[in-house]
Amino acid sequence: MDPVSALISVVDDDESVREALPDLLREFGFTAKAFASAQEFLDSHSADKTKCLILDIVMPGISGPELNRKLKELGFSIPTIFITAHAEACSRPEMREGAVACLIKPFSDTALQDAVKKALSLMRR
């Protein structure tokens, strides 16, 4: 899969993350799009194009884990990277359900790039 054609969707209620992460992903050579909420992502109909989902755990409305479950119920199997400012959240059982990684903010560029590469490699199988 060509990394440029692989859409990476970022869902985070934090505006600074929505601005910074897509720019960083583009620097890595990926196509990226940001969404302010889980509902905005669902309404966009981008799930069928998304090859990797970077998903904040704690958001108003639908949480990251709830969105992940909803996508599975709808038949989407998108490799997910959870991101959070709360380290303890990464140890919850639902973080291991299909998650490629759980990164604690602030995370390094290298950690993000490695997690995205791992997620995209799962889509090739």
Specify the length of the chain in residues: 125
- Amino acid 3: pLDDT: 58
Q: What's the rounded Cα separation, in Å, for the pair 49 and 1? A: 13
Give every residue of the chain whose pLDDT is below 70, as ranges: 1-4, 94-98, 124-125
- Amino acid 2: pLDDT: 61
- The answer to whether the beta carbons of residues 10 and 101 sit under 8 Å apart is no
How big, in percent rounded to 5, are the helix, strand and coil portions of the chain?
A: 45, 20, 30
- Amino acid 8: pLDDT: 97
Which CATH number is associated with domain 3-123?
A: 3.40.50.2300
Domain layout of the chain by residue ranges:
3-123
Q: Give the CA angle between residues 75, 61, 45 to the nearest 5°.
A: 40
pLDDT tens column, 36-59: 999 999 999 999 999 999 999 999
Query: Which residue type is seen at 113?
Result: Q
Please state whether the predicted TM-score (pTM) of the whole model is above 0.95: no
